[in-house]
Amino acid sequence: MDPTQGRPTPADPGVSDPRRGVRRRAIARAVVVALAIVSIATALAVGSRRDPGALRAEAERLIQGEQYDRADRLLDRIEAAGPPAPEDLILRARVALGRGESERARTLLHRVPDDFPSIGVAWLRTGQIELRRHRFRQAELALLESLRLDPSIDTARRELIYIYGYQLRRSAAREQFLALADPMRLLPSEVLVWCLLHRTSWNPEEAAATLAKAVEADPEDRWSRVALVRNLITLVRLDEAARLLEPLPTSDPEAIALRVELALERQDIEEAEAMLADAPEGHPQLDYVRGRLALARGQYPEAKQALESALKAGPVDEEKVLRNLALALRRLGEDDRADQAGERADALRRLYELVGQALGTDRSGDDATLYKRLGSACLAAGLRPEARSWFQLALGEDPLDDEARSGLLEAEALPPLGEGSSPG
């Protein structure tokens, strides 16, 4: 005992130190907490290995945040436990797309069974990403695969219409419009675009800018290159058009037609005739320029034959072909048929003007009246499916509208005079 303090010292035998007990209890609690932490961490690790769904959800979050490397490592953890499930392949494909590895993404998606529920949507997403990169060829392949797997994915059809519209592929675009029109699922703005498919181009400056990006992103994209050249000819940017035509082979009918049109724009008739001499027949654009040349030379029977062939082969800019055909028929004394061709050309012109007005104004008033006017304009131009769509939209505004009902019945009875037909 310490004589100065009157308290037992820790060194005294049989005397316990209260601080030592406190330390022991603290150590014991620390051990318990540490063991609990280890147990929780172990449980979480085991749980993560046993719950790939949680890892997939985290991978989805990382992909949306464009953290592709982290998502890839997370998917590695899932696949360490066994072969990848279809959803893992889809996530891997999205990582590949995010990195710009399009071929790898498509390879991964092709490994997913066709009957897997979300595979159609996965292909849709692939197409949309490629479209944002202006890779139209790759986008088209992905979107078509999406529709093959699930024809009900209307968004894929709309994206294809966007591509085909820019590329002036009227037949392909029309197929998608018809699918959306029966049953009617088209928006008014989409039917307006449908009506404009019968022209070569309705906004060549904007179209040329978009197509130039597509050709830059994919120089092998023939459709975009051809459409870009056609728009440049419309804009009289002939040197650019000629330069962009250079990579296309001399045997390509579209390229031949464009080179002939370039020669005609430059008033080089001899060169145009020389190129046409060996060009194939039955191609709408080639037949159209043949008709123009024959008309210029006063060879009216040949002009009539070539222009009628162009209309039947379709698709072409129908108004331009019809006006040339009307002139050839008039020179041949076939006035009734000339009148028919001219009237239809006039009807198409009036339709385009009405569509232009509709596109240039805010439609906050009587939409039903506008839809009926557009439907009647389509009827006059012989565009049956387009007219039907407008009258259906009008009936959507007022199901009891007798004028719209009558127009719809008339559209149903109208013979399909649109694409691939000629007057008379």
Q: What is the pLDDT along the chain (424 residues), one digit of tens a residue?
A: 444 444 444 444 444 454 555 555 555 555 444 444 444 444 444 444 458 888 889 999 999 999 999 999 999 998 888 899 999 999 999 999 999 898 999 999 999 999 999 999 999 999 999 999 999 999 999 999 999 999 999 999 999 999 999 999 999 999 999 999 989 999 999 999 999 888 866 789 999 999 999 999 999 999 999 999 999 999 999 999 999 999 999 999 999 999 999 999 999 989 999 999 989 888 999 999 999 999 989 999 999 999 999 999 877 789 999 999 999 999 999 999 999 999 999 999 999 999 999 988 776 667 999 999 999 999 999 999 999 999 999 999 999 999 999 999 999 997 765 444 545 4
Q: In sequence order, which ranges of 283-401 are alpha helices (DSSP H)? A: 284-296, 300-313, 318-331, 335-359, 367-381, 384-397
Per-residue model confidence (pLDDT) at position 375: 98
Looking at CATH, the fold of the domain delimited by 337-424 is given as: 1.25.40
For residue range 80-124, list pLDDT tens digits in order.
888 999 999 999 999 999 998 989 999 999 999 999 999 999 999
Map residue 184 onto helix, strand or coil: strand
Measure the CA–CA gap between 307 and 380, rounded to whole angstroms: 21
Measure the CA–CA gap between 337 and 14, rounded to whole angstroms: 128
Q: What are phi and psi of 7, to 5 degrees?
A: -120, 150
Q: What is the pTM of this model?
A: 0.81
Task: Identify whether the C-beta of residue 255 lies closer than 8 Å to the C-beta of residue 248.
Answer: yes
Q: What is the DSSP string of 61-119?
A: HHHHTT-HHHHHHHHHHHHTTSSPPHHHHHHHHHHHHHTT-HHHHHHHHHTS-TTSTTH
Task: Identify whether the C-beta of residue 182 lies closer than 8 Å to the C-beta of residue 149.
Answer: no
Distances (CA, A) of 307 to 88, 333, 387: 55, 16, 26
For residue range 179-188, list pLDDT tens digits in order.
999 899 999 9
Per-residue model confidence (pLDDT) at position 51: 80
Per-residue model confidence (pLDDT) at position 203: 86
